[in-house]
Amino acid sequence: MRSSIKEILSLILANQATTAKELRGKLSISQVLVHRHLKTLLAENKIKKIGSAPRVFYVPVQKEDNILLVASNIIQENWLEILPNGSFLWGTVGFAQWCKKRGFDVTTKANEYEAMFHKKESFKKQGLIDTTQKITNSFSHNYLEKIWYIDFYSWEIFGKTSLGKLILHAKQNSDEVLMKRIAKEVQSPIVSLIKREQFEMIGIIPHSISRKKDFLMTTVKFLHLSPEPKRIFTKAFADHVVAQKTLKSKDERQANANETLFLNDEQIPKKILLIDDACGSGATLNVAAQKIKHKFPKTKVYGLTFVGSMNGFEVINEM
């Protein structure tokens, strides 16, 4: 039996990418035996599986030389590296790969990462980052009572956070599996916030461009929130769709939101939470709150995003 395992490994090493069907054809052995041997090789970390049924490829595991892993619970729990082939490397292994690719000393960068992590966490209270002052400073009038992030979208030096990376890939690929994972990560602070503040309605901000699967609405459904989130706005464009993130200035973003975001024929109660996936300047949420308060002046509007920009958080930027 061991000889046939060696034959399978040799074929995978020679071809670099092989399917189970190709292995069966070349070795004339049963499907059950091929998959049994592949399972053994996977367990021994000699090969890895890429793709999903019905197109699954088996490729050799590339041995990485001189990769130093640091002992860091913070990095182990918070780092995500996404390889060019779409593979996810979590924790210290992914961090080591990131350092090696850039020629960084792993230990030095690990110390920098942990220091920045603690600075970032210092902004959180009850799992949320209060960015109300940033929005107040950015616009002539802030129509939001409060606005929070769950996490930053990216950091200086280290790039996108793990949550930021998950959101980017989930949106780009309409990946429902990743949406479920994101929901699991953001559920606790969102549920706690709703319980504390006793919101009477939860409104979902529509995406600025249409997607195969509505990322935000799909992800929020996995949270099983009460009250049940609603689409209270319609996003409509004149001639061509302009993605909010492509606009550079906050004035352009505010104009985009003001001219394309329309409040549905909905009765809005006195306390509402608006949820968006990301916050750059805060223009969209501020305009949404303005439109609600124009029609319902006594309503208090709050905002929450999964991730947001670090701009305006000088303590972190100075690092």
Residue 192 falls within a domain, yes or no?
A: yes
Q: Considering the domain boundaries, does residue 184 fall inside one? A: yes
The 10 Å CB-count burial string (b at 16+, else e) for 39-77 is ebbeeeeebbeeeeeeeebbbbeeeeeeeeebebebbbe
CB atoms within 10 A of CB 79: 25
In a domain, 16, yes or no: yes
Are 115 and 168 in the same domain? Answer: no
Whether residue 174 lies inside any domain: the answer is yes
- Same domain? For 90 and 127 the reply is no
Say whether both 174 and 286 belong to one domain.
Answer: yes
Are residue 184 and residue 164 in the same domain, yes or no?
yes
Residue 65 lies in a domain: no
Q: Give the pLDDT band of residue 66 (cuts 50, 70, 90).
A: very low
Position 66 in a domain: no
Number of domains in the chain: 3
Give the E-state strand segments of the chain in sequence order.
Answer: 47-52, 55-60, 80-82, 88-90, 124-125, 128-130, 146-152, 154-155, 159-160, 201-204, 233-235, 261-263, 271-279, 300-308
Specify if 42 maps to a domain: yes
The reply to whether 138 and 101 lie within a common domain is no
Between 44 and 155, the higher pLDDT residue = 155
* Residue-wise pLDDT tens digits, 170-204: 998 899 999 999 999 999 999 999 999 999 999 99
pLDDT band at 67 (very low <50, low <70, confident <90, very high): low
Q: Residues 202-252: pLDDT tens digits?
A: 999 998 767 778 899 999 999 999 999 999 998 776 555 556 565 566 677
> Does residue 127 share a domain with residue 19?
no
Task: Kindly state whether residues 157 and 296 are assigned to the same domain.
Answer: yes
Specify whether 161 is located in the same domain as 236: yes
- pLDDT at residue 63 in the model: 61
Decide which of 239 and 161 is more confident. 161
248 and 298, same domain (yes or no): yes
Please tell me whether residues 191 and 91 are part of one structural domain.
no
90 is a domain residue:
yes
Judge if 266 and 290 occupy the same domain. Answer: yes
| Domain enclosing residue 116, as ranges | 73-120
Q: How far apart are the first and last CA of the chain?
A: 58
Is there a contact between 53 and 20 (Cβ–Cβ < 8 Å)? no
pLDDT score recorded for residue 317: 33
Same domain, residue pair 46 and 111: no
Q: How many C-beta atoms surround the C-beta of residue 270 within 10 A?
A: 11
